[in-house]
């Protein structure tokens, strides 16, 4: 039987052959075979810190532990990299399979001694059983993979068990991905705009552009349901380019110096074309650079060891474009990021709106560095009054206005920018 040269376990092709034979021999009036998909957690860190020879040594030890945890009739395999699989031969009771899976998590998480150095990794395991509606190699492995994905999503170092709910989620995700890829060309995407107010003068100062997807069957899909997926399938740069062009074109019709803020994902910096994309959007709309504000999160800077992001931001700032740091205070390196680039604005995360001491500290720091501060998620008059007293420059939130479609912006501007200041302090 073909084996993996590094670990001596059966290899991928041999595992598939054994699983196919087990499914063919299975009498469906008895409990069927089960598959465990096993993935080592934090293995890349071992390769990076101790080197690939140490990583290979760890894989060999992991393989021995894997082999020791299963029965003689079972099949342990290395599929490649740090991925392993186990075929539990039929008949296998569900409680036995679960016990084996838990034992693997425990064994593979114990410390390793490789080339005289200690290494620690963990393991996530996905478990699936053959069923009358799941009798092929691809189907059973696919279910075990879904369970593994669930285990990793729940925090790693645990067992995930396949259930019909996982299948439904996978089907929905696959359909959502297909629909999202077509949404742009079908004209299903649109921008809503949330008002932003200057507390110093009590007037409307601009809007933040927020992407919405109007699905023909599901209606208005919340951003949380498709933005992470767009990032995962690397579609976010395409969507982001459309957002920039559309936001600039619509903002060009607004009066005066009113700004439009656009969120930029970390992936949009990777190709090195963000500057030219912004240039084209501004030029195509006839919008001056200072009326566009780009919001980035700390993750973009944290993933910038070669300075590619900072270089592009520096060029954009030289064009007059405003740069803000979004969700300030939620990361681990906010203060260091402020020293790495001269931001124009800090967006105070909504989780701090009720914490006067935090708002006061951020507002004071921003003021001392010449950086404006905007508080998000303002929902009550008490919050608004407090933010004003603590020195915050700008606010946005449901109290001041919900996101509006582009068609409603002209009337909103006409209603809000004329007359006395809007945001007087209330008792």
What dihedral do alpha carbons 76, 79, 83, 86 form, nearest 10°? -20
Domains of the chain: 12-162 (3.30.70.270), 175-416 (3.20.20.450)
Burial string for 236-255 (b: 16+ CB within 10 Å, else e) reads bbebbbebbbbbbebbeebe
Residue 158: partners with Cβ closer than 8 Å, 6 or more residues away = 105, 124, 125, 151
List the one residue out of 14, 35, 13 whose CA is nearest residue 23: 35
pLDDT tens string 230-289: 999 999 999 999 999 999 999 999 988 999 999 999 999 988 899 999 999 999 999 999
pLDDT score of 98 = 93
pLDDT score of 256 = 86
pLDDT tens string 22-72: 999 887 777 889 999 999 999 999 988 899 999 999 999 999 999 988 888
Contact yes or no for 71/93 (Cβ under 8 A): no
Residue 92: partners with Cβ closer than 8 Å, 6 or more residues away = 31, 32, 33, 34, 129
CA 336 to chain centre: 23
pTM, whole model, 2 decimals? Answer: 0.76
* Residues with pLDDT less than 50, the chain: 419-420, 427
Contact yes or no for 57/117 (Cβ under 8 A): no
Cβ atoms within 10 A of the Cβ of 21, count? 13
Cα distance between residue 49 and residue 56, in whole Å:
13
List the one residue out of 253, 257, 264 whose CA is nearest residue 209: 264
Take residue 234 and report the two structure tokens written for it: 């690397």
pLDDT score of 412 = 85
pLDDT score of 327 = 84
CA angle at 352 for the pair 347 and 355, rounded to the nearest 5° = 135
List the one residue out of 215, 197, 217, 213 whose CA is nearest residue 205: 197
Convert the chain into a string of H (helix), E (strand) and C (coil): CCECCCCCCECHHHHHHHHHHHHHHCCCCCCCCEEEEEEEECHHHHHHHHCHHHHHHHHHHHHHHHHHHCCCCCEEEEEECCEEEEEECCCCCHHHHHHHHHHHHHHHHCCEEECCEEECCEEEEEEEECECCECCHHHHHHHHHHHHHHHHHCCCCCEEECCHHHHHHHHHHHHHHHHHHHHCCCCCEEEEEEEEEECCCCEEEEEEEEEEEEECCCEEECHHHCHHHHHHCCCHHHHHHHHHHHHHHHHCCCCCCCEEEEECCCHHHHCCCHHHHHHHHHHHHCCCHHHEEEEECHHHHHCCCCCHHHHHHHHHHHCCCEEEEEEECCCCCHHHHHHHCCCCEEEECHHHCCCHHHHHHHHHHHHHHCCEEEECCCCCHHHHHHHHHCCCCEECCCCCCCCEEHHHHHHHHHHHCCCCCCCCCCC
Backbone angles phi, psi at 151, to 5 degrees: -60, -45
List the one residue out of 305, 293, 407 whose CA is nearest residue 345: 293
């Amino acid at each position: 039987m073909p084996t993996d040269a590094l670990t001596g376990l059966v290899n991928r092709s041999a595992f598939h052959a054994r699983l196919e034979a087990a499914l063919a021999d299975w009498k469906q009036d008895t409990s069927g075979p089960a598959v465990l998909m096993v993935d080592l957690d934090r293995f890349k860190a071992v390769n990076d810190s101790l080197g690939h020879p140490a990583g290979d040594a760890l894989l060999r030890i992991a393989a021995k532990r894997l082999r020791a945890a299963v029965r003689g009739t079972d099949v342990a395999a290395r599929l490649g990299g740090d991925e392993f699989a186990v075929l539990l031969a039929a008949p296998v009771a569900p409680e036995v399979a679960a016990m084996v899976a838990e034992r693997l998590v425990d064994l593979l998480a114990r410390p390793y001694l490789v080339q005289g150095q200690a290494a620690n990794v963990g393991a996530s395991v996905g478990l699936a059983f053959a069923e009358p509606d799941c009798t092929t190699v691809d189907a059973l492995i696919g279910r075990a993979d879904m369970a593994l994905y669930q285990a990793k999503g729940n925090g790693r170092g645990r067992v995930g068990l396949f259930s019909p709910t996982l299948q439904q989620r996978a089907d929905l995700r696959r359909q959502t991905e297909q629909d999202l890829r077509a949404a742009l060309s079908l004209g299903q995407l649109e921008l809503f705009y949330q008002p932003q107010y200057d507390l110093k003068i009590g007037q409307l100062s601009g809007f933040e552009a927020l992407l919405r997807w109007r699905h023909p069957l599901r209606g208005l899909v919340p951003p949380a349901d498709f933005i992470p997926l767009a990032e995962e399938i690397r579609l976010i740069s395409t969507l982001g380019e459309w957002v920039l062009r559309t936001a600039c074109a619509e903002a060009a019709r607004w009066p005066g110096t009113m700004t439009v803020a656009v969120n930029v994902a970390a992936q949009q910096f990777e190709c090195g074309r963000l500057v030219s994309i912004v240039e084209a959007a501004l030029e195509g709309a006839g919008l001056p650079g200072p009326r566009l504000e780009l919001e980035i999160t700390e993750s973009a800077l944290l993933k910038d060891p070669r300075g590619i992001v900072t270089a592009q931001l520096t060029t954009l700032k030289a064009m007059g474009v405003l740069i803000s740091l979004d969700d300030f205070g939620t990361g681990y390196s906010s203060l260091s990021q402020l020293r790495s680039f001269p931001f124009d604005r800090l967006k105070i995360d909504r989780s701090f709106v009720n914490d006067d001491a935090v708002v006061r500290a951020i507002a004071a720091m921003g003021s001392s560095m010449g950086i404006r501060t905007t508080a998000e998620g303002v929902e009550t008059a008490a919050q608004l009054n407090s933010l004003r007293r603590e020195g915050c420059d700008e606010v946005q939130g449901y109290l001041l206005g919900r996101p509006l479609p582009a068609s409603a912006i002209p009337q909103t501007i006409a209603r809000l920018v004329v007359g006395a200041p809007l945001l007087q302090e209330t008792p």
